[in-house]
Amino acid sequence: MDRIPSVNLEDFISGDPNRKQKFIDEIGKAYEEIGFVALKGHFLDDALVDKLYGEVKNFFSLPVETKRKYEIEGIAGQRGYISFGKESAKGKKEGDLKEFWHFGQYVEDDLERAKEYPENVVVEELPEFNEVGKEAYGMLEKTAKYVLRALALHLDLEETYFDNYIHNGNSILRPIHYPPITSEPENAVRAAAHGDINLITLLMGAQGRGLQVQNHKGEWIDAIAEPDELMINVGDMLSRHTNNKLKSTIHRVVNPPRELWGTSRYSIPFFMHPISEMKLNVLDSCIDEENPKQFEDITAGEFLNERLIELGLKK
């Protein structure tokens, strides 16, 4: 496969059984073959997208000392600001050429679950930043729920199989700023080759070149979305749960050509995580003689903890 397939969520929620099945077949095939799709018909409207980008650009334009106020010690970067070069890909020494922010889950109906997560960090200088972030978080979470329902049916599971695992899950909305490059980077790129930790990732801001995906021949292909599309990929948790039937694909964000070094890039991924006690044990339906069980039993919380340590975000 040398390009990213495009699908439309409106087919799945149309009420027409044939359109619904078409969506299930298309997204299932794409995730088995390349692990990425470009998705139209999601729940983010243009006005909300514009507002979110405006607030994100306002935040990253603040002075460094102001942003640093929101870098919270002791929570492994799970909320608030994470400064430039702090995160590196698994197995890589060099920090990625980015700074970012984390919005986390807004638990409103479960006091015990709320205690499990750090609180969201409020930016005093920007009165609408947190409100717009929360609204976008909700729309992306809703979109992810329907994508996972389609995947449940593709895997011969009950349609709402994932619903209870993702309700109040440990999902993260991460606005990223890749600042202008001012000198020749030494072995560093905007985001080094990596797989995502979570169930699925919904990415805003994949218009234009930069994001690349490694296909099964080991070739890097450009992943470029239309303005009305989200790029959505399988993460390691879902790959593990399906015995690698659904592929968590290695991807990266490469540095732009030298003539574009002076420009910033913004992207906003939503990392859909389940609740920590979800068992990621390989589904029985994904094991057969040709595909024996590849992964040990583990919970989502245990797996996330392992990966945060590997990424240098947790000691």
Whether residue 57 is predicted with pLDDT greater than 60 in this model: the reply is: yes
Taking only the tens place, the pLDDT of each residue in 200-243 is 999 987 666 778 999 888 889 888 888 899 999 999 999 999 99
- The mean pLDDT of 33-49, rounded to a whole number, is 94
Distance CA 164, CA 179 (A): 38
Q: What is the pLDDT of residue 89?
A: 47
Which 8-state DSSP code applies to residue 206? -
Q: Which CATH class is domain 6-310?
A: mainly beta
Residue 210 and residue 189 in contact, taking contact as beta carbons nearer than 8 Å: no
The full set of domain ranges for the chain reads 6-310
Q: Return the higher-pLDDT residue of 96 and 213.
A: 213
Residue 304 and residue 170 in contact, taking contact as beta carbons nearer than 8 Å: yes
Single pTM value for the model: 0.91
Residue whose tokens read 């879902």: 238
Q: Return the higher-pLDDT residue of 187 and 51.
A: 51
Taking only the tens place, the pLDDT of each residue in 267-291 is 899 999 999 999 999 999 999 999 9
Taking only the tens place, the pLDDT of each residue in 12-36 is 999 999 999 999 999 999 999 999 9
> With bands split at pLDDT 50, 70 and 90, how would you rate the model's confidence at 91?
low
**Based on the number of CB atoms within 10 Å of its own CB, is 99 exposed (0-12), middle (13-18) or buried (19 or more)?**
buried
> With bands split at pLDDT 50, 70 and 90, how would you rate the model's confidence at 119?
very high
What string of DSSP letters covers the chain? --S--EEEHHHHTSS-HHHHHHHHHHHHHHHHHTSEEEEES-S--HHHHHHHHHHHHHHHTS-HHHHHTT--TTSTT-SEEE-TT----TT--SPPS-EEEEB-----S-HHHHHHSPPPPP-TT-TTHHHHHHHHHHHHHHHHHHHHHHHHHHTTS-TTTTHHHHTT---EE--EEEPPP-S--SS--SEEEE--SSSEEEEE---SS-EEEE-TTS-EEE----TT-EEEEE-HHHHHHTTTSS----EEEPPPPGGGTTS-EEEEEEEE---TT-B-PPPGGG--SSS---S---BHHHHHHHHHHHTTS--
